[in-house]
């Protein structure tokens, strides 16, 4: 499903290169606070984490995660996705998975999150097709890919520009576009382009996923989602699981619970109100399923999130629910 994916323990980190040391120093200054640090670019955030995480449930918006220091591992079904200073993570459709991180106060995890601007990605993909670079690879929702030298240089220039609010506002969007280009033409760029153009059965599943994120607070069943995808219910169930490693109803439940957690943390709503706002009819069922997913009850988990991470407002014009 992605490369690399291994169940063995990761090797010890190699000594940081001079370029990597430069990027870490810049990222550390751009992410002074633990949690997400906002930038003048609405789709870009810098992350600092001073503590490890163990198998935390996450749901990313489509985008790119570039880790500059520390290590993250994502677990989806039998696949393990490593993203660290040598590998980045690309997400073409939101897929719930669990994540663990290596981080400490002495050596915090530092990363950049680029929420995908579909207009910029579509324009680049069109230009690539015009220049004879069609996407023949099988589409993928989640990809862990080695960081090559050209992408690393683009990221370094981006970090340097982001030190100045004026340069960030004027030059930053062009460098974000350059980073998109490097990812879309990288080792697994063809698979990402195929996913973003929503080809074949993958595209049908992607339509159903958008429906879930747009209507998670309403009654949805397998028949409704299968019709949205233009498939029979059995075919839809099989293809959905092939893309997301979970069933449509489990995906819907995960989306609702992630959104409930965000409502409690960002809007300070009660668990009872969050329960109704995400489409649950039974508060007791909501509490049971929430604790099963996050390992804590709703109120306890919301309090932990407030203390552990700065939680900025949602990204503007977000098409999907994200919780990471």
Euclidean distance between CA atoms 34 and 12, whole angstroms:
25
> Is residue 295 situated within a structural domain?
yes
Predicted confidence at residue 216, as pLDDT, reads: 94
What pLDDT band is residue 321 in, cutting at 50, 70 and 90? Answer: low
Q: Looking at 127, 161, 196, which one is the last position of a domain?
A: 196
The domain that contains 240 carries what CATH number?
1.10.10.60
Residues 252 and 183 in one domain: no
What pLDDT band is residue 228 in, cutting at 50, 70 and 90? Answer: very high
What percentage of the chain carries pLDDT values higher than 90? 72
Residues 108 and 132 in one domain: yes
Euclidean distance between CA atoms 210 and 276, whole angstroms:
21
> Is residue 10 situated within a structural domain?
no
The domain that contains 99 carries what CATH number?
2.60.120
> Is residue 236 situated within a structural domain?
yes
Average pLDDT of the residues in 270-292: 95
- Least confident range from 4-13, 18-27, 171-180: namely 4-13
Torsions phi, psi for 94 (to 5 deg): -65, 125
Predicted confidence at residue 54, as pLDDT, reads: 87
Which domain range does residue 227 map to?
200-308
Which pTM does this prediction carry?
A: 0.84
Predicted confidence at residue 205, as pLDDT, reads: 94
> Is residue 141 situated within a structural domain?
yes
> Is residue 187 situated within a structural domain?
yes
Count of residues making up the chain: 324
Residues 178 and 36 in one domain: yes
Predicted confidence at residue 290, as pLDDT, reads: 96
Torsions phi, psi for 214 (to 5 deg): -80, -25
Q: How many domains does the chain have?
A: 2
Predicted confidence at residue 213, as pLDDT, reads: 93
Residues 66 and 180 in one domain: yes
What percentage of the chain carries pLDDT values higher than 70? 89
Residues 153 and 214 in one domain: no
Predicted confidence at residue 136, as pLDDT, reads: 75
Residues 155 and 234 in one domain: no
Predicted confidence at residue 143, as pLDDT, reads: 94
Q: Looking at 172, 196, 220, which one is the last position of a domain?
A: 196
Residues 226 and 123 in one domain: no
> Is residue 245 situated within a structural domain?
yes
**Average pLDDT of the residues of the chain:** 89
Residues 98 and 183 in one domain: yes
| pLDDT tens per residue across span 103-116 | 999 999 999 999 99
More confident residue, 306 or 86: 86
More confident residue, 160 or 140: 160
Residues 97 and 211 in one domain: no
Residues 23 and 105 in one domain: yes
Torsions phi, psi for 49 (to 5 deg): -135, 125
Euclidean distance between CA atoms 248 and 201, whole angstroms:
15
Instruction: Judge whether residue 255 has pLDDT over 90.
Output: yes
Instruction: Judge whether residue 11 has pLDDT over 50.
Output: no
> Is residue 320 situated within a structural domain?
no
> Is residue 185 situated within a structural domain?
yes
Residues 157 and 204 in one domain: no
More confident residue, 191 or 1: 191
Euclidean distance between CA atoms 255 and 259, whole angstroms:
6
Residues 186 and 58 in one domain: yes
Predicted confidence at residue 12, as pLDDT, reads: 43
Average pLDDT of the residues in 2-19: 52
| pLDDT tens per residue across span 64-90 | 999 999 999 999 988 999 999 999 999
Q: Looking at 132, 164, 196, which one is the last position of a domain?
A: 196
| Residues with Cβ within 8 Å of residue 195, at least 6 apart in sequence | 92, 93, 139, 140, 141, 202, 206
What pLDDT band is residue 2 in, cutting at 50, 70 and 90? Answer: very low
Instruction: Judge whether residue 150 has pLDDT over 50.
Output: yes
Beta strands in the chain (DSSP E): 35-38, 44-49, 53-58, 63-69, 71-76, 79-84, 87-91, 97-102, 109-115, 142-146
Instruction: Judge whether residue 5 has pLDDT over 60.
Output: no
């Amino acid at each position: 499903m992605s490369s690399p994916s291994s169940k063995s323990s990761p090797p010890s980190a190699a000594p940081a290169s001079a370029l990597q040391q430069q990027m870490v120093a810049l990222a550390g200054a751009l992410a002074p606070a633990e949690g997400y640090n906002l930038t003048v670019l609405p789709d870009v955030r810098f992350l600092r984490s001073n503590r490890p995480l163990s198998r935390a449930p996450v749901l990313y918006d489509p985008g790119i995660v570039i880790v500059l220091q520390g290590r993250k591992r994502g677990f989806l079904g039998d696949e393990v996705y490593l993203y660290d200073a040598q590998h980045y993570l690309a997400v073409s459709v939101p897929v719930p998975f669990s994540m663990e991180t290596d981080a400490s106060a002495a050596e915090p995890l530092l990363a950049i999150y680029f929420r995908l601007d579909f207009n910029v990605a579509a324009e680049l993909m069109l230009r690539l097709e015009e220049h004879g670079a069609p996407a023949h690879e099988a589409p993928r929702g989640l990809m862990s890919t080695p960081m090559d030298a050209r992408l690393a240089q683009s990221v370094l220039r981006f970090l340097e520009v982001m030190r100045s609010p004026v340069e960030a506002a004027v030059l930053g969007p062009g460098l974000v576009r350059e980073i998109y280009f490097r990812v879309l033409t990288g080792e697994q760029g063809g698979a990402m382009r195929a996913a973003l153009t929503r080809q074949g059965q993958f595209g049908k599943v992607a339509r159903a996923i958008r429906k879930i994120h747009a209507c998670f607070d309403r009654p949805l069943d397998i028949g409704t989602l299968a019709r949205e995808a233009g498939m029979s219910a059995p075919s839809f169930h099989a293809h959905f699981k092939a893309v997301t490693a979970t069933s449509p109803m489990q995906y819907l439940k995960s989306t609702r619970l992630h959104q409930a957690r965000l409502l409690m943390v960002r809007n300070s709503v009660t668990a009872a109100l969050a329960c109704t706002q995400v489409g649950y009819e039974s508060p007791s069922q909501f509490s049971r399923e929430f604790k099963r997913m996050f390992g804590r009850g709703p109120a306890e988990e919301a309090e932990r999130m407030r203390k552990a991470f700065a939680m900025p407002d949602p990204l503007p014009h977000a098409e999907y629910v994200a919780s990471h």
